Amino acid sequence: MNKIIILYALLVIGIISCKDEPTPPYSIPKNAVTLLTADSIKSWKIARRYNGKTRMNMGDCFLGYRQRFRTSAALSVNSSGQVRDNNGELRNCGPSLEARWEITTSDKGDSYLKLTSDQIPELLGQESKEKFFKILYLSNDSLTLSYVHKQFNKRLRITDYLVREDLRVEDRDFHW
């Protein structure tokens, strides 16, 4: 009986003392600006979008959506530039967002794509003129961003998997 109690106590102590190691922050590549903008201008499209762990259906607005990140030689040194989406060019998809972008790093070492625009409060339903998108991955072909979006009084974690505009993506028009 005492052995069972001791084993049980050790099991409980083991479970309590085992903590998940925090995931180290993703280190963006040194040439992040070039990857994001191709040294001048680069368009990205959404390949997949997740709300938490649930893959979202993408209708015409998402399928046609593009973000164009622009920089110049002077701006590339500062890791900043301009971004514009094409919503306004698509039927019934709302106005386009034009913003200034920059890459920032948090105290914990996480990298963010920070957008600043007077349009953000109205378009994204928030008070701040800034929106932060955590960079989970960046390469020449793909960009993964995660952000919190408030909708219907709930905070949702959205993750967008973007690819270069010219890449073909299988099952992009996923529907249930």
Model confidence at 155, pLDDT cuts 50, 70, 90, reads: confident
- Rounded CA-CA distance 86/98 in Å is 9
CA–CA gap between residue 87 and residue 5 (Å, rounded): 64
Query: Could you report the per-residue pLDDT of 80-124, keeping only the tens digit for each?
Result: 899 999 999 999 999 999 999 999 999 999 999 999 999 999 988
Name which residue leads in pLDDT, 58 or 102: 102
- Which residue's structure tokens are 């994204």? 124
In terms of DSSP H, where are the helices of the chain? 2-17, 32-37, 60-64, 73-76, 120-124
Statement: residue 136 has pLDDT above 50 = yes
- Report in angstroms the alpha-carbon separations of 85 from 19, 82, 107, 158: 42, 10, 29, 18
- Could you state, in order of their start, the residue ranges of all structural domains in the chain? 2-164
* Residue 17 pLDDT greater than 70, yes or no: no
Q: What is the pLDDT of residue 149?
A: 83
Model pLDDT, residue 24: 87
Which pTM value belongs to this model? 0.82
Considering only CA atoms, which of 135, 128, 165, 169 is closest in space to residue 150?
128
Question: Max alpha carbon distance in the chain (Å)?
Answer: 75
What class does CATH assign to 2-164? mainly beta
* Confidence band, pLDDT 50/70/90 cuts, at residue 150: confident
3 state SS for 88-107: HHCCCCCCCCEEEEEEEECC
Q: Higher-confidence residue: 5 or 145?
A: 145
d(CA 102, CA 86) in angstroms, rounded, equals 20
What is the per-residue pLDDT across 60-89, written as a single tens digit (0 to 9) for each? 899 999 999 998 654 444 578 999 999 999
Closest CA to 33 of 116, 103, 135: 103
